[in-house]
Amino acid sequence: MVKGSQNMESRIAVIGVVIDHRETLAEPVNAILSNFGHIIVGRMGLPYRERNIAVIALIVDGTTDEIGAMTGQLGRIEGVTVRSAFTL
């Protein structure tokens, strides 16, 4: 990897998204995920009814800029918590 070109290389990341009040926030979250569908390799979403939240696990393959843009947009939604771990 050449210093300065890091953002141009594809990275694998695991992203966890926790959504409070799933019924009201599902639409804006899904709109963002659809916009970044080209980097999403896998997605698993589970409602956790006892706590009135939803949990989404994503596997993505994209540049750090693309992944950062997606997680940044998700994280700006009040009631959405996002954490990511880059693996490669």
Q: Per the domain annotation, does 26 fall within a domain? A: yes
Q: What is the CATH number of the domain that holds 50?
A: 3.30.70.1150
Look at the chain and report how many structural domains it folds into. Answer: 1
* Stretch 3-24: mean pLDDT: 82
Q: Per the domain annotation, does 16 fall within a domain? A: yes
Q: Per the domain annotation, does 41 fall within a domain? A: yes
Q: Per the domain annotation, does 1 fall within a domain? A: no
Q: Per the domain annotation, does 2 fall within a domain? A: no
Q: How confident is the model at residue 3 (pLDDT cuts 50, 70, 90)?
A: very low
Calculate the average pLDDT of the chain.
Answer: 91
Q: Per the domain annotation, does 52 fall within a domain? A: yes
Q: Per the domain annotation, does 13 fall within a domain? A: yes
Long-range Cβ pairs for the range 79-82 (8 Å, 24+): 79/19, 79/20, 79/21, 79/24, 79/25, 80/17, 80/18, 80/19, 80/20, 80/25, 80/29, 81/17, 81/18, 82/15, 82/16, 82/17, 82/18
Considering the entire predicted model, what is its pTM? Answer: 0.86
